[in-house]
Amino acid sequence: MTSTIDTILSRDAFLLTTELRIFWLIAFFYGVCLFLYLIYLFTKKNSIGKTAAGILWAVVVIHAALIIFRTIEAQRAPFQTLYESLSWFAWTASFTYIYVSRKWEGIHLAGIPVTLMSMGASLYALLSRNPAVEPLSPPLQSWWFEYHVILAFLSYAVFVVSCSIEMVYLFINPRLKRGKSFDYGLDMNNIEVFHRTSFKLVLFGFPLLTFGVFSGAAWANEAWGRYWSWDPKETWSLITWTVFAMYLHAMTIPKWRGLPASLLNILGFICMLMTFLGVNWLSKLLGIPSLHIYAV
């Protein structure tokens, strides 16, 4: 019996060590992509941007394989703990960027914030979170678990890419209007079409976030007997939803469609980060009780 237990523990330790080594490799190559995108920023060489995009494709594929590996190893959805959620967040953000950017020719600047986020999330998971495979905690034993988390994180990934495009637009557009030319693949002929992608992404992500909020309320009722308790995470999810609703409303009003709408989009992204990570820190720092502390 003791020998069998030792064998199982040895196997689990080997699998976890292998997984960690691959995850470190993934984080490293997210960093390589970021480095190449930064070189592209200064050199404006399209070949460097294309190389970064090619490496990012490969990293996304390897990261997907790692997540599948974790799913098989844990025999459950791979986003119970914050370690797993950060890995999932990094992958969904990079995958969404790669998917959205496949139609852009010679436009790579938005890869900088995306790979920065993916590398940062991966390193945060590896350096500060417990990678152990834990059984599903009681509040997560609900069929709402997968639907809520998958849709919420898909909306997060979409908002990351949308915000990245927004930042590139705010960086490039004023210079183009002053008559300066750039070699980043953007000019007065395509800058608005490029920027329009940011709006379309939020238009796609907002219903996902909405369902995430509603499914979270239904899940809370099943787990704790009430739909809404003004928990810090619930409150910030409502704030995030409200800011993106304001952004979509601003885009329907001509005089708000410019800088005010862009700032609301970026503010929504910041609120999304608060919902995902910031409330955990605030709850710990200020001693605010949170029902979602199991996910930290």
- State the sign of the Cα–Cα–Cα–Cα dihedral 50, 51, 54, 55: negative
One-letter amino acid for residue 51 of the chain: T
Question: What's the whole-model pTM score?
Answer: 0.90
Burial 223-238 (b: 16+ CB within 10 A, else e): beeeeeeebbbbebbe
What is the reported pLDDT for 7? 64
What is the reported pLDDT for 8? 61
Distance CA 272, CA 209 (A): 10
Question: Where is 295: in which H helix or E strand?
Answer: none
Distance CA 213, CA 219 (A): 10
What is the reported pLDDT for 1? 57
Structure-token pair, residue 90: 């990094």
DSSP H helices, 75-178, are: 82-101, 111-128, 144-177
Bigger pLDDT: 40 or 4?
40
User: Where on the phi/psi map is residue 105: left (φ > 0), alpha (ψ -120 to 50), or beta?
Assistant: beta
pLDDT in tens, 12-33: 777 888 999 999 999 999 999 9
Note the Cα 109 to chain centre separation in Å. Answer: 17
Structure-token pair, residue 119: 């590398």
Burial 247-286 (b: 16+ CB within 10 A, else e): bbebbeeeebeeeebbebbbbbbebbbbbbbbbbeebeee
